[in-house]
Structures are given as structure tokens and as C-alpha cells.
Chain A
């Protein structure tokens, strides 16, 4: 294969996976603090719709992104409020929201179905794009793609290298001891839960304004569930999660190329992450019983589930 062809395929994968990468990073942040945002399927749909709607009404892509991020944050805030303040099971709320938001997106999105609208423009950077491979694949993209790549690096650095990241992880692992150490558990859960939701909102907007232009009924169908699966497949690590998202993007590109050869591949493709998710969950648990594996290796190879994931924190 010529180097040009590799460049084109790589650029397509990185561009196509950008929304999924953002969603995975957002959800990873909320899950690390213990909040499972199960509304992801609905959240992505409605933020994709709002992002496109606002952008096409105002003509400003930036406003579309801001609206989607705000909405994503508000949805996550609602889940946080229900769980942290009202002590409702977050799975119940997230699940109900998934159905509600999905239906709402097709109700409110009616005027915007299949109309042309603005999208994020491609930016050509002179000189820098002459760097082999990276030049075309990474530099000659648009703001959304750069944002998605930046989000991986920032999330990784924040989660593993900063003091605030340590507090975030502490709350996700054991909120009771974090509480005893004087960390404001409720505030941290609210803050990062909402932040994760806002990033998911931006992911929604980047679907409708970047990778799958426009809006139609069920525009991002199944991407929310796929993202949940990839977060787990990534072992709650933003870098591994992003690799999972890129791998899925690669499969999608492959399916497009092989469509004529293998019938039904595009129907089966969205289902592939789920068996992988179950297998990686089994592997995580399996590795936990093996004392001879050093903790560091374990968390890189198998991932580490936040101990308090999905549980309600109620001070005893």
C-alpha cells in the first residue's frame, strides 16, 4: 500500500472517530467519579439534534457546540441531583432519561430533518501538513478532531498526574474514606459528573456538525450504548478508551470498503463492541484474583473498575 493511501485511511479513521472519542472521554470522567451516565444513548441523540438546530438557526457552529455542551451538562446535572441529593438509583434515572431524550430528540427535531446546515470547516495548515502521515491525518483536520485528540491527553494527564485527579479517583473508589479525609464528596461528584455530561454534549454536536452532517430520526442510533461498552473495554482509562474508539472507527471504515463483498456487515458491525465489553469485564475480574500480577501492570493490561461505580453515596 502506498503511503498516500495509509494517510487517507488514517485521516478518515481519526476524523470519523472524533465524536466517539469525545463521548468516551466524557463518560470515562463521570464513571471514574462513580457516576454512571446511563442516559448516554438519549443524551447523544438530543445534543446532536440541539447542536445542529442551534447552529442552523444562528448560522454559528460555535453556538451549536455551546448549546449542546450546556444541554449535556444539564442532563448530567439532573442525574447527579437525583442520585446525590435525592438518593435515587442512578441507573433508574439514567435509563428513564435514555428513553425520554431519545423520543424528545425525534419530536423536537422534526423541522430539522434532512435540511442542509452549517458544519465545522476543514482547516488547512500550511507547512505543517507536509509532515509525513501525521500531516494529513492529524494536522489537516478541523477543530473538532483536534479537540478530540486534546481531550484524550488532557483527561489522561488530569486523572493520573494531578492532585485534583487524585481526589476525583478517591471519590470514585471509596467516597467514605474520601469524606473522612475532608474531601467534599458531593461537590466533586456533582462537578465531574456534570463536566463529563458537557463533554458528552459536545460529542453529540460533533456527530451532527462534523462526522454525520445534519439531523435525521435516530441520527446517532446505538452510539450511546457503543460508547458505554467502549468505556468498559477501555478499563476506565481515557487513553485505552480512545484506542477502543479508534478501533471501532477503523472497523467502520473497513465495513464501508467491504460492503459489496460481505453482505450484512454494516448491520452486524455496531454489535461487535458488546461481546468484547463482556470479555474485558471477565478479564478484569479474572486478573483481580491473580496476586502475582503487579497492580500497575494490571491497570494497564486489564483496566481498573472504580470500586464505588454506580453506587449511591449516603453519609452514615
Chain B
């Protein structure tokens, strides 16, 4: 057999196919034709430059959130605080855009740097609560998500309120110099793609070529052995949270620069939480996370077509995403897909 048909790939494809199959049955139970739903989603996401551009932007946001999870997963830590870290990234970006720099060429580079900084610091707080305060990272992360949400509400109705009347609909629009530009006429979102592409390469490099990556992985697999080697597990856990926060902070900058152009409450829009699902499905592999993100982004963008064409509810994409993930987890754990492959290969006489 060639390398492409390696057992691993085959198993994952089988599990994915099964998950989609079960999700289709679930959709039938809900009274939705899975075929027309999937076709409408595909049409609504890939056809048309506007839609494609949106798919690419959302893919970037989702991939960055999934990366943030993959980094902390490698230290065996959950990062439920992604939503909050993304919100802090948005706050950082809006902070730069609202300042004097916002109307200059420096705006975009600084927005990117400050959003990483804000997100990273917020990630670090979660890590500190875990290592110094012994607070379980799931509860710490969840709490910090709401703290960040509160911070945005405070900023929007307080210090950064709209000229004239304060409302929860958001701050004033930021200057156009700080909007992320589209390339050429076909709305190619160059900056989001550059951001998640470079993060992918950097993280790949860290995990495959540097001792830092190895240490991040080993602190997760055996903390005891790690400290016996004279290394501080706490330090690497903190580092993991710092990196994760900085990575997903970029997603917050994209929300501001490419989508909203202002600060709105719950600006993360649940993409951080979706990133958790993506990281779970992608087996903590960076590249697969991008592929899954692209698929999920198609579901999000195509979902609006569903609404118009088939008159279906806006919640359908979320239902499809979450049920695919749920079935995937169940299939993987029960290894039905492996049994199925074995049964098929046996009946065809392969080894």
C-alpha cells in the first residue's frame, strides 16, 4: 500500500464518514433533508466571492482558536478561556485603533502586536490561577471568559461609549486606516490568512524542531518525570497558556479588523468555543485543525443561504457542527470505525 492509504488516514476518514452519516440521520429526524441542506451550505459558502471571502476570514478565526487549544492540550491543559482571550485581543486591537496611531500606516501592525499581548496576558492569568492558585483551569477559564465579557460591556457603555448616547450596540467605528485591507477586487482577506498561516508554520516549527515544543509536550505527558529532570512544570504550563492566549488574541484582532470594525459585546461570537470542538476532532493536529475549520466555516457561512433558500433556521449549522463532533467522539471511543474497516477488508480478502 502507498503511504497515502495509511491505516491512520483510512481510520479517520471512516470515522468522519460515519459521523456525517449519523448526523444526516439526526437531521432526518429533525425533519430536514440532509442532502439539500449540505448542497445549500456548499453553494452558499463556495459560490460567490463575497461568501468565499467570509469563509476564509472565519476559517482563520477558527483555526487560530483551535491552535490555542492544541497548544494547551499539549501541556494536558484545557483552555476554556479562549473566548475571553479572543475578546481581550479585540480590546487590544480597538485600543490601538482608537488611539492616535489608528489613522496611520502603523495601525495594523500595532493592532496585531497589541492583540497578541493582551490575549497572551489574559491566557497567562488563567495559567497563574492554575499554577499558583491551584484553581482548576476549566473553571478558571470559564470564569475569565465572563470577566472579559464584563470588561467589554463596561468599555462599551463606559469609557469608550459612542458619541452622544451610550448603547450596548458597540463603540464608534474605528478609522478606515485600521481596517484590514482586502487584496484586489476579489476581497481576498490577505491579513487573516497571513496571520493564521504564519502561526501554523511557527507552531509547527516549535513542536517539530525545538526543545521548547518537546518540553511543552512532555510536561503534559508526565509532570513527575518532568520535575525530576530539574525543569519547572509550572513554568512550561504558564508558557503554554501565554502562547495560546497570544495566538487566539490574533483572532480577536481579525474580528475587529476584518468583520466588526468596532468593539461589540460578545465579539468572539462563540468561535472560541467552536475552536475547542475543532481541536477535539482534529486529534490535536495543527493541519487537520485548519481543514476542519474550513469545513466548519463553510457551515457557518452557508448557513445563511439555508435560511434564505430553504427557509431553515439559523441554528442548523451549529446543530450539524456539534453533532458531527459528538458522534465523532463516540465513534472514536467505541472504535466502531475500526471494526467496520476490519469487517470490510476481511470480506474482500485483504490482510
Interface residues, chain A, CB within 8 Å of chain B?
Answer: 36, 38, 82, 86-88, 91-93, 95-97, 99-100, 102-104, 106-108, 110, 225, 228-229, 232, 263-264, 267-268, 270-271, 274-275, 277-278, 281-282, 285, 309-310
How many Å lie between the Cα of A172 and that of B268 in the bound state? Answer: 35
Q: How far is the CB of A42 from chain B (nearest CB, A)?
A: 9
Whether A92 contacts B318 in the complex (CB less than 8 A), given A106-B313, A271-B146, comes out as no
- Contact residues in B for A88 (Cβ distance below 8 Å): 329-330, 333
The answer to whether B273 touches A263 (Cβ under 8 A) is no
How many Å lie between the Cα of A104 and that of B320 in the bound state? Answer: 10
The answer to whether A275 touches B322 (Cβ under 8 A) is no
- Contact residues in A for B147 (Cβ distance below 8 Å): 271, 274-275
How many Å lie between the Cα of A38 and that of B138 in the bound state? Answer: 10
The answer to whether B138 touches A93 (Cβ under 8 A) is no
Interface residue SS majority, chain A: helix
- Contact residues in A for B273 (Cβ distance below 8 Å): 95, 99
How many Å lie between the Cα of A103 and that of B324 in the bound state? Answer: 14
Whether A103 contacts B318 in the complex (CB less than 8 A), given A267-B168, A282-B133, comes out as yes
Whether A110 contacts B313 in the complex (CB less than 8 A), given A87-B333, A281-B133, A282-B129, comes out as yes
Whether A271 contacts B333 in the complex (CB less than 8 A), given A92-B280, A96-B322, A107-B316, comes out as no
B166 within 8 A of A: yes
How many Å lie between the Cα of A82 and that of B138 in the bound state? Answer: 19
The answer to whether B313 touches A281 (Cβ under 8 A) is no
A92, A96, A103, A271: which has the most chain B beta carbons within 10 Å? A96
Chain A to chain B contacts (Cβ below 8 Å), 17 pairs: A91-B78, A96-B277, A99-B321, A102-B318, A103-B318, A103-B319, A106-B313, A107-B30, A271-B147, A274-B144, A278-B129, A278-B144, A282-B135, A285-B133, A285-B134, A309-B136, A310-B136
- Contact residues in B for A274 (Cβ distance below 8 Å): 142-147, 150
Whether A99 contacts B318 in the complex (CB less than 8 A), given A263-B166, A285-B133, comes out as yes
The answer to whether B135 touches A100 (Cβ under 8 A) is no
How many Å lie between the Cα of A281 and that of B141 in the bound state? Answer: 12
**Chain A residue at smallest Cβ distance from B153:** A267
- Contact residues in A for B270 (Cβ distance below 8 Å): 99
Whether A91 contacts B138 in the complex (CB less than 8 A), given A96-B277, A96-B280, A99-B318, comes out as yes
B334 within 8 A of A: yes
Give the A-B pair count, Cβ closer than 8 A: 121
Q: How far is the CB of B183 from chain A (nearest CB, A)?
A: 33
Of the residues A107, A228, A275, A309, contact of B315 by C-beta under 8 Å: A107
- Contact residues in A for B326 (Cβ distance below 8 Å): 93, 96-97, 100
B276 within 8 A of A: yes
B66 within 8 A of A: no
**Chain A residue at smallest Cβ distance from B276:** A95
How many Å lie between the Cα of A278 and that of B142 in the bound state? Answer: 9
How many Å lie between the Cα of A268 and that of B168 in the bound state? Answer: 11
Interface residue SS majority, chain B: helix
The answer to whether B135 touches A285 (Cβ under 8 A) is yes
Of the residues B80, B150, B315, B329, contact of A103 by C-beta under 8 Å: B315
The answer to whether B153 touches A264 (Cβ under 8 A) is yes
How many Å lie between the Cα of A305 and that of B144 in the bound state? Answer: 20
The answer to whether A99 touches B139 (Cβ under 8 A) is no
How many Å lie between the Cα of A273 and that of B144 in the bound state? Answer: 11
How many Å lie between the Cα of A281 and that of B265 in the bound state? Answer: 27
Q: How far is the CB of B224 from chain A (nearest CB, A)?
A: 17
- Contact residues in B for A108 (Cβ distance below 8 Å): 30
B22 within 8 A of A: no
The 7 nearest A-B residue pairs measured at CB: A100-B322, A103-B318, A271-B150, A285-B134, A274-B146, A86-B333, A103-B315
The answer to whether A99 touches B277 (Cβ under 8 A) is yes
The answer to whether A278 touches B135 (Cβ under 8 A) is yes
Q: How far is the CB of A175 from chain B (nearest CB, A)?
A: 18
- Contact residues in A for B166 (Cβ distance below 8 Å): 263-264
> What is the 8 Å Cβ interface bit string for chain B, positions 256-274, against chain A (1 contact, 0 not)?
0000000001000010011
Q: Known pairs A229-B142, A267-B168, A281-B136. 14 more at Cβ < 8 A?
A: A86-B330, A86-B334, A91-B78, A95-B276, A96-B329, A97-B322, A229-B139, A264-B158, A267-B265, A271-B150, A275-B147, A277-B139, A281-B133, A310-B138
Whether A96 contacts B325 in the complex (CB less than 8 A), given A103-B315, A264-B153, comes out as yes
How many Å lie between the Cα of A225 and that of B153 in the bound state? Answer: 18
How many Å lie between the Cα of A310 and that of B329 in the bound state? Answer: 17
**Chain A residue at smallest Cβ distance from B319:** A103
Q: How far is the CB of B223 from chain A (nearest CB, A)?
A: 15
**Chain A residue at smallest Cβ distance from B322:** A100
